[in-house]
Amino acid sequence: MPKSPNQAMALNALGDPTRRAIFEKLEKGPMSVVHIAEGLAVSRPAVSQHLKVLREAKLIRMQQQGTRSIYSIDGQGLMAIRSYLDRFWDTALQNLKVLAEQTEKQQKR
């Protein structure tokens, strides 16, 4: 089954190490650009560009609080990635079941 556009966008967005670092920072909770940029080896304008890509992939959302933009993780993009990965998990579990059944049959002989 091919990836949906949302899944592809989310996976591509997280393919960049800086975007992954930003996304992982937001795991701690909502943050402003200033706080997100702290400790990153890129400029604040570059952080803003990465945030834009993450927003377009629906991995994060932005909420205005006065003059500040506050970013947080968006469950929509996260669910797209999870549904993509669940396919592999389901296949792995099915393969494990088949292997267990084959082993059981061999042991009964």
Second CATH level (architecture) for the domain 5-108: Orthogonal Bundle (1.10)
> What ranges do the domains of the chain cover?
5-108
What are the pLDDT tens digits along the chain (109 aa)?
556 778 889 999 999 999 999 999 999 999 999 999 999 999 999 999 999 999 999 999 999 999 999 999 998 888 888 888 888 888 878 888 888 888 888 888 7
Where is 56: in which H helix or E strand?
Answer: helix 44-56
Return d(Cα 61, Cα 74) in angstroms, integer.
6
CA atoms within 13 A on the CB side of 44: 5
